[in-house]
Structure formats: structure tokens, C-alpha cells
Structure 1
């Protein structure tokens, strides 16, 4: 295990509302990202993934608040940083973001070269020429002709805009990049190209990544470790191989088996019935219990604690039935792909 670059320790995040009840978006979230590690965070919309990302860079809405727990970046607690501290010590310089909507992230009335100069002005000692030269180099990294650095964002396609955001995310040579659904608005061919560029960064840059997505297959193909979330709670975490080959949380199992597999075209896909709960109170139960085919009364008796489930040292599941889940869900796992074999085939 490398030295941790980002640590979440029992973090709770809520949003205040105008009504009587707050929204408890994240509850007792814990995970660690090591140096030069790609970490995937998976879950359906509304489970708390983007809230976690926003909390890392001080980007929560005005009504959002980290109410307890610790967020550590390179060993230093940052959950109580002021806006000034985030701007001075964290944003872009140490942690940058690749958002899902590139059009909303690029200034439509400024040339891209001018946006690079503006970034350099507030965060570095680079001259205007040096800033433009750095952007030119980064355009080459993401496969955009260097001659396009003086264009406006509207002159680029959606895929080129997203590659431009990747270039800007590398501009200040950060230690951690947060990719929040980076391919959502792109067609499947461009999605593949963007993921190729993101993967190439791992070999050529000394950078870690937090990749947030609802698509478990993207995490499996691009990350080293991962965590699965449901209803504001952690469900499972570990290496992608452990979570894929030996899932121990019902949501992980059903989510994995809800995706089609070309190797098993006749396999019946799993269906996750129901909807996530409205978290107007701190959940003192497993938030997946109402949707879980294996739920028992014990699942409603307190929020689940992490259980070590074997395999890798850090493979954990937040489920009271984790130790017996392999047997309980045998019918769902019988035709699952073996992650280790697929990884070996991919590298042949």
C-alpha cells in the first residue's frame, strides 16, 4: 500500500433545507486513495458520489456542510478549510477536477490561451508566454493540434472540449485529479478516446485519480481500487479484482449483474427494484435493506459497520450478511466473468 494521498474517515455531510428536515447525503463514508492510484467511486444518481467530490475541493453548495469526520489530503485535515485556504492550497494546484459538463467549465467568451494565462496569473509565477507554452504542450498530450490554443470553446466539438478540460486539469501539475462522470455527455466512441487519454496520464504523470461514475464497467477497466455507494452509505470497497470477482454486498452483486455481458448473451440481467430512500434523517439502518432480496430484521438494527471479507487486505463490505453473501447470491454469481482472467487477456 502506498502512502495515502486522500483519506476519508467516517465523514458525514448534510444539506440544510428550508423545511424542518435536512438531507443527510453522506453518512460515515470511509476510504483511502494512495499515491499514483486510480480509485473508482460507483453508485446510482443521488447516492452521494458528487457530494464527496465537492467536499474534497470545498465545492459544496452554501447549504452543504461536513458535519463530522475527517478529510485528509497528504495527511492534513482539510474539511474545515476556508474558501481562501482552498484557493491557496488545494484547488487546481494540488487537486483539479474534470467535470461531466465541459461547456459549463470553460469561459465561452475567452480564448483558451487567455484562460490559461488567467489561471497562471492567480496560481503560479508563470509569465504569459510560459503559460501559453504550457497549454500548447498539454494540447499535444491530449491530442489537440497546438495551433488551436487561441480558439474559443464554441469552436471545439464536445469531445475536444472535454480533452481541453483534461489539459487544464494538468496545467498546475496536481497530485490528485477528480473525474466526475467525465464521459457522460459523449458518444461511445468519444467516451473510449477520453478514457484512453485519462489512462495514459497514469503512465506519464505522477498523479492519482478519483473517478466517479454510475458505470461499474468503466471503473473495472480503468481503476486499481474502488468503492460502491448506495443511499448515502458505503456498500463495499477494495481492489477492482476483489470487488468484481468476490462481491460481498447485495448492491454490488446486483449492480454488477445488471450490466449485459457479450460472453453470456442469454443471461437474465438482474433488476434492482425500488428506489433509494429519502435521507431526511441520519439512517440508523442499511439504506439498501428495502431493496435487498436477502434483507432480514437485523439489517434495520443500526447502520452497518465495515466487515473484512478476505481477498485483499482492504476488501470490506458494509453488510451484516457479508460473510454468507457468496452462498446467498450463488445464482447471481454463477455466470459472472472472472476479473483476473479478463485482466490477463487484456494485457496479452
Structure 2
């Protein structure tokens, strides 16, 4: 079995407020990413996905803090690193980020070549010529003309800026890339192109990736393993095949069935009623309980523990009714007989 490159173990993250009513953004979250694995982290806005990404690179806001649990990168705990330690040991050279908005990530008054030289100056021993040559090589990797390296960001379209960001994310040859909603501001055609570029990196570069998105279909199509989050809690983890074929957390099931499937255009989509919870005070309950059609009193009496699905420790669901969910969901969603069910797995 491959050693994990990143391990999240029982991590809590809080944001302090002036009124002392802390926001518990992430609660007892656990997952791991293997080397050379594309891992998807999916969930609706506000569930804690980007907070997890910020914690990995030491980028939490001043009022944010990892209050418990362990974050390991290549076996070394990093959750208590100082700013200096993150800069020296983690950021860019080991873990880089493709952010949501490229326009807010590139310095608007510096040519891209100068930005590359600055990065090389602080993190490498490359000469100025070598630094610029490396950017040329990476522009070719992401489908940009190397003649554009001396342009300013405003001279690029949104899609070109996003490709430039990917080039900078690769610049120091990191082992892990965090792609945080990398296609949010792009049209559907450019989204497809950017995802293709990201997927192409896997064969040509020895990297792992944490892909953060609200679109579960993007994860199913492009990742190897995944975690589903709701309300600051990890709901389910496993390979994309297992979570697609055998989802066992109610939120994972409903989220999957809320997306249309071109194979079954007449199928009625699932609806997730209610609103995400306000995560104030101790979160000692299942955060999906108030929205779950299968909730029981015990769901509100304590945070759920992980349950191995069908005895498989690599596929886990944080639900007290995980063992019953295939039958309960099949009855509730009433899939048509001629469809290949995505709840219990097809042939």
C-alpha cells in the first residue's frame, strides 16, 4: 500500500470572533491522500473545504486556528508550523496552490517573467536567465506561447491567466498541488480545457493533487479518491468508484442524485431541503441531521464515528445508519427498474 503524502487526522479548525462565539469551521475531519493520487474534496459552499486547504499551507486568517488533531505531510506534523517554517519547508516548493480567482493571484503591475524571477530568488538558486527559461518551459506545458512570458496579467484572458497560475504552481516542482475551485470563474469550454491541462500533469509530472470543488461530477470524472463534506464534517471517503457505486452517507447519496445524468434524462433529481447549519459552539451532532430524510434521535445526540462500508477500511461513512442506507435510499429515491442504480452498484 502506498504511503500517504498528506494525512488529516481528527482535525478541528475554529475561527475566533469578537463576541467570543467561535465558528467551528471543521470538526473532527479525517482523510488521507496517497502519493501520485488525485483526491477530490467535494461539498457545498461553506462546508469547510477551503478552510482545510488554507490549514494545509498555513494560510488561515489571523483569527483561524487548528485547535486539535494532526496534519502530516510526508509523515511530518505541520499543523503547528510557524510562518517561517511554512515558507521554508512547505509553500510552493512542496505544496503549491491553484486558487479560485487567477485575477487576484497575479501581481497586476509586474510582468509574469519578473514574478517568476522573484519566486526563484526566494526559493531557489536559479539565475535570472534560468528562472525565465523555466517559465518558458512551463508555458509550453500549459498551452501558452512562450513569447507571452514578458506580458502583464491584464494582457491575458481569464482562461490564459488560469493557465499561467498552473504554470506558477508547477514552477518549483512541488509534490502536492491544491486546486481550489480552479475553474469557478471560467466558461464551460475553458473549464474543460483547464481540467484537461490539470489531468495531463498526472502522467508527465510526479505529483499528487487535492482538487476542491462543489461539483461532485468533476470529482467522479477526474479523481482517484475522494471525500464528501457537509457542515464542517467529513461525511464519506473512499475511491471514486466506491463512492459512486456504493454511497452510504445520506448527503453523499442525495448530492450525487441531485446532478442530472445524460443517460437518464427523465429521472427526477433529488432535492436536499433545508440550509447548512450555523457552526457555533460545540458540534456534538451530525451536521446533516436537520436536512436528512433518514435522521433518528441519536443523530443529534453525538457526532457520528466512521463506519467501514462492507468491511472495507478504505471506504468509510460517518453515519450511524450507514449499513442501512442502500435499502433506505433505494426506497426513498425509487430509481426506475431499467436504470443501472448508482446506489447499490451495477454489474
Partner residue of 1:330?
330
How far apart in 1 are the matches of 2:26 and 2:261?
32
Residues 252-310 of structure 1, C-alpha deviations (whole Å, 9 max, x = no match): 00000000111111111111010111111121110000000000111112100000012
| SS of 1:174 mapped into structure 2 | coil
1:136-147 counterparts in 2 under 5 A?
A: 136-147=136-147
Distance 1:264 1:171, change over 3 A: same
**Aligned partners of 1:241 and 1:340 also within 8 Å:** no
| SS of 2:314 mapped into structure 1 | coil
How far apart in 2 are the matches of 1:202 and 1:20?
44
Partner residue of 1:192?
192
**Aligned partners of 2:246 and 2:344 also within 8 Å:** no
| Corresponding position: 1:110 with 2:134 | no
**Aligned partners of 2:238 and 2:316 also within 8 Å:** yes
1:208-223 counterparts in 2 under 5 A?
A: 208-223=208-223
TM-score normalised by the chain length of structure 1: 0.96
Residues 12-69 of structure 1, C-alpha deviations (whole Å, 9 max, x = no match): 0000001131000000000000100000000000000000000000000000000000
Partner residue of 1:183?
183
1:1-348 counterparts in 2 under 5 A?
A: 1-310=1-310, 312-331=312-331, 332=333, 334=335, 335=339
| SS of 2:30 mapped into structure 1 | strand
Superposition RMSD in Å: 1.7
How far apart in 2 are the matches of 1:232 and 1:192?
29
**Aligned partners of 2:236 and 2:318 also within 8 Å:** yes
Residues 53-90 of structure 1, C-alpha deviations (whole Å, 9 max, x = no match): 00000000000000000000000000000000000010
How far apart in 1 are the matches of 2:24 and 2:264?
39
How far apart in 1 are the matches of 2:343 and 2:194?
23
**Aligned partners of 1:4 and 1:35 also within 8 Å:** yes
Residues 290-332 of structure 1, C-alpha deviations (whole Å, 9 max, x = no match): 0000001111121000000127540000000000000000043
Structure 2, unaligned stretches of length 5 or more?
Answer: none
**Aligned partners of 1:307 and 1:319 also within 8 Å:** yes
| SS of 2:70 mapped into structure 1 | strand
**Aligned partners of 1:142 and 1:166 also within 8 Å:** yes
Distance 1:292 1:338, change over 3 A: closer
| SS of 1:88 mapped into structure 2 | helix
How far apart in 2 are the matches of 1:333 and 1:213?
28
How far apart in 2 are the matches of 1:317 and 1:333?
22
How far apart in 1 are the matches of 2:179 and 2:40?
9
Q: Runs of 4+ in structure 1 displaced over 4 angstroms?
A: 335-342
How far apart in 1 are the matches of 2:126 and 2:334?
55
**Aligned partners of 2:100 and 2:181 also within 8 Å:** yes
Deviation at 1:338, TM superposition (A): 5.2
How far apart in 1 are the matches of 2:138 and 2:341?
37
How far apart in 2 are the matches of 1:28 and 1:336?
35
How far apart in 1 are the matches of 2:146 and 2:311?
47
How far apart in 2 are the matches of 1:177 and 1:184?
17
**Aligned partners of 1:305 and 1:319 also within 8 Å:** yes
**Aligned partners of 2:246 and 2:343 also within 8 Å:** no
**Aligned partners of 1:257 and 1:336 also within 8 Å:** no
Residues 140-187 of structure 1, C-alpha deviations (whole Å, 9 max, x = no match): 000001100000000000000000000000000000000000000000
**Aligned partners of 2:40 and 2:210 also within 8 Å:** yes
**Aligned partners of 1:13 and 1:64 also within 8 Å:** yes
